[in-house]
Amino acid sequence: MARIAILVGTPAGTRLLAASREREAALMAERLLVGLDRAALPAPLWVQCADAALAARLTAYLAGFQAELTAVPADGAQ
């Protein structure tokens, strides 16, 4: 049973991700975000679950993940 929902705004529309564990939710969101064009980042996202601390932690993690994606040059050079 899914207990974590993540809504991600993309140029193609809103995507809804559902997971039962925090790490599973993070991995699903990471895969989606990596697949977006750089111009679409940072993508708006909302994390919903019964545990407010988990939602805040996952939101902060995904915000940091997007910041890292936008900081690395598109060709991967440093």
Report the number of distinct structural domains present in the chain. 1
- Domain membership of residue 49 (yes or no) is yes
d(CA 23, CA 13): 24
- Domain membership of residue 60 (yes or no) is yes
pTM of the model: 0.87
pLDDT score at 1: 73
Residue 49: which domain range?
Answer: 4-71
pLDDT score at 40: 96
User: Do the beta carbons of residue 34 and residue 43 sit within 8 Å?
Assistant: no
- Domain membership of residue 24 (yes or no) is yes
- Domain membership of residue 55 (yes or no) is yes
What is the chain's pLDDT, residue by residue, as a tens digit (78 residues)?
A: 779 999 999 999 999 999 999 999 999 999 999 999 999 999 999 999 999 999 999 999 999 999 999 996 666 555
Q: Nearest 10 degrees: CA dihedral of 64, 70, 71, 75?
A: 140
